[in-house]
Amino acid sequence: MAGSGKTTFMQRLVSHLYTHPDPTQSEPSVSKVAPTPPYIINLDPAVHHVPFTPNIDIRDSVNYKEVMKQFNLGPNGGILTSLNLFSTKIDQVIGLLEKRTQPPAPVKEPEQTTVEFMTNSGKEKQPAPVQQQQVKHILVDTPGQIEVFVWSASGEILLSSLASTFPTVIAYIIDTPRTTSTSTFMSNMLYACSILYKTKLPMILVFNKTDAQDAQFAKDWMTDFEAFQTALRNEEEGGSFGGEGAGGGSGYMGSLLNSMSLVLEEFYKHLSVVGVSAMTGDGMDDFFRGVNEKAEEFERDYKPELERRRAEREQEKQATRQRELDKLMKDMKVGGAGNKPTPRRKRDDPETVSDAEDAADDDQDEDLDYEDELDSDDPEQGLQQRYRDTIREHSTNKQDDDMSFARYVQAAKFH
């Protein structure tokens, strides 16, 4: 949430990965392997300064203030529009991440030329070209407005693109000193529940600022229902329900929180909970151990589900294309039985003179329609048939004219 210390937590993550070859260890271990620097992405367009150097920064692509001015938007609308504009380049971002996460290609040593070998100038060892290290951790800093990022089309595009390519884990940062009351604690849990079921990705609850307030009470409330009930009862009796200065609250709030704690008991089983201090770095090893567990859970449980949903979407697209094709073929009458002429209907005997005249007109119309259908089935065959009929008609008329002239000449000789 906003103000929970996300940016400071990101700074501590970066520092921990730069100084610890094994991030799951609390103390820097002596190792011959150099620590692998993370790949950092900043998706908050409204931040003025970040205490780390991002590899990809949304502020380099989108000017947040210009977006607000050009589209006449407020702060949240400007953030949402900036994310929408940035999401159009997600394919380029994924391409860069795929290149950096691949193992580096082996570098061939330069061969000595004949001149270098003869002049002994090649004895001096040339420095090997510097290789980029393979990235093992990708850190993404998101805006603090949850609804802007999670419940928007651009946020879904960014998350689904990352999850379809890399094991993705969501860290929900909670301000521990502001979560000591049962009402604010339950509000945070509802937020986390909505994010979990909206994104369908593994999640870790990070109770930040443990240097100011220990997070053990929150872990007890999540694992022990009776402990939460006791804390809720104490707040109602002491008149501090809802936090300091909030008064005793109303009666329905107590019953609502009581019911919600029962409902979310199953939800707590799918979460990993860690307490960290972004200021001192305490608990960062526990956080990375939780990340490794959630990455394995992603490969085991979430990745097959993502592949199944992707296959369903492809099947739906194929079915939609097939329906459109069938509709087009039907409109063009390209089907098997659609191009046959309609057989003539057998009519009943007319009972009156008017019925007989109408039937004769209908028969004539049907004959014309039937001939048109025959011609429409095979245009070339219909054209040939009309050509033959025309030739036959003209040849018959010519023979009749010749016979009439012959009879006239014969009659003239006899007279």
State pLDDT tens for residues 31-61.
Answer: 556 778 899 999 999 998 899 999 999 999 9
| Whether residues 235 and 190 fall in one domain | yes
Residue 341 domain-assigned?
Answer: no
141 with 215, same domain: the answer is yes
Query: Would you say residue 238 has pLDDT above 70?
Result: yes
110 within a domain of the structure (yes/no):
no
pTM, two decimal places: 0.69
Domain contains 83? yes
Which domain-ending residue is among 290, 317, 344?
317
> Do 59 and 172 share a domain, yes or no?
yes
Q: Which of 293, 317, 341 is the last residue of a domain?
A: 317
333: in domain: no
In the numeric block, the tokens 């203030």 are attached to 65
Burial environment of residue 335 by CB neighbours within 10 A (0 to 12, 13 to 18, 19 or more): exposed
Same domain, 258 and 373: no
Domain co-membership, 164 together with 82: yes
Q: Which residues pair with 206 in a beta bridge?
A: 173, 274
pLDDT at 246: 47
**Is the confidence at residue 207, as pLDDT, over 90?**
yes
On whether both 281 and 358 belong to a single domain, the answer is: no
In this structure, is residue 217 part of a structural domain? Answer: yes
Predicted pLDDT at 338: 47
In a domain, 79, yes or no: yes
In a domain, 340, yes or no: no
- Asked which of 317, 335, 362 is the last residue of a domain, the reply is 317
Instruction: Judge if 279 and 362 occupy the same domain.
Output: no
What per-residue confidence (pLDDT) applies to 146?
Answer: 82
Phi, psi of 91, deg, nearest 5: -65, -35
Residues of the chain above pLDDT 90, percent: 35
Same domain as 144, residue 29: yes
Closest by Cα among 255, 275, 257, 253 to 265: 257
Give the per-residue pLDDT at 149. Answer: 80
Mark whether 288 and 404 lie in a shared domain.
no
- Nearest to residue 22, comparing CAs of 140, 139, 136? 136
Q: Give the CATH number of the domain where residue 205 resides.
A: 3.40.50.300
Domain residues for 229? 6-97+136-317
pLDDT tens figures, 90-133? 999 999 999 988 877 666 666 656 655 556 554 555 555 556 67
For residues 358 and 289, membership in a common domain is answered with no
Q: 275 near 215, Cβ under 8 Å?
A: yes
Give the separation between CA 274 and CA 282, rounded to whole angstroms. Answer: 11
Task: Kindly state whether residues 149 and 193 are assigned to the same domain.
Answer: yes
- Total number of domains constituting the chain: 2
Alpha-helical (H) ranges within 298-352 are: 303-332
Is 180 found in the same domain as 248?
Answer: yes
Residue 49: inside a domain, yes or no? yes
Order of strands across the sheet that contains 39-42? 56-57, 39-42, 138-141
Q: What 3-state class would DSSP assign to 143?
A: coil
Nearest to 58 by CA among 32, 93, 25, 29: 93
